[in-house]
Each structure stands twice: as C-alpha cells, then as structure tokens.
Structure 1
Amino acid sequence: MGNLTGWHGLILLLVVLLLFAAPKLPGLARSLGQSITIFRGEVKKPAAGDESAPAADLPAKDDATKPGA
C-alpha cells in the first residue's frame, strides 16, 4: 500500500465515482450545460438602467455647440 501515489488515488476515485454515480452523471451534465447557457445569456444582455453602457451608445457632447463658448 505504500507505493500508491496521487495518480493512483485519482484513478481509484474516478472508478468509484463511475461505479456508484453513473446513473446521475447525465442529469448532472445536463444541468451544468443549462446553467452555462443561462449565464452566457445574462452576460450578453445589458441590464435595464445600466450606467456602464458603452460610450458609442450615448449621445456625443460637443463643446463647440454650447451657447457662450
């Protein structure tokens, strides 16, 4: 037993996981994929009233058009 390294323990853990949790793995992968899809969708759309909008979307402020300048 003294010759077991970290790799042996990792492989043993993987085998035990596959034996006892195999029926639950597809559901886990499906929920993980759905979570990633939701996260990407939330990151791409800007929140309503978000003040960190890009400057290109805001009206340009030109100092030459101000009265008294």
Structure 2
Amino acid sequence: MKTKAKLVAESVRLKQWSQQIRECQNCPVGLTKNDWCWLQGITKANHYYRLRRGRQAVLNYTAEEN
C-alpha cells in the first residue's frame, strides 16, 4: 500500500505531466514532437512514457469508480 506522501507525489507528477502533454498537443504547426521534446529537455521516449502513465492513471481512476 502506498503512503499518503507517495500518493501526493504521484498526483503532482501526473498533473505536471498532463500539462506537458496538453502543451505538446497544442504546439505550433511545423514543430515536431522531437523538436518540442528537445525544447522541454526531455526525450521522445520520456514523453511517451508520461503519456502512457497518464492514460493508465485515468483508466485506473474510472475502474475504481465502477
């Protein structure tokens, strides 16, 4: 079982990552994902990891509600 501190830290991370994902999706036309990731100081693999973790968190949340 996760401690309250770990749950809070995970929640903060997911919020930050979801903001980054939204920014990437709204990036200017002509700016590639590679370029956007480079400007953010992350790798493309890290970007997709964060996207996957965010999606998984949403699925876990909806599964808990049902």
Q: Same fold (TM over 0.5)?
A: no
- 1 or 2, which has the higher helix percentage? 2
Name the larger-Rg structure. Answer: 1
Query: TM-score, normalization: structure 2?
Result: 0.38
Structure ranking higher on relative contact order (CA contacts 8 Å, 6+ apart): 2
Query: TM-score, normalization: structure 1?
Result: 0.37
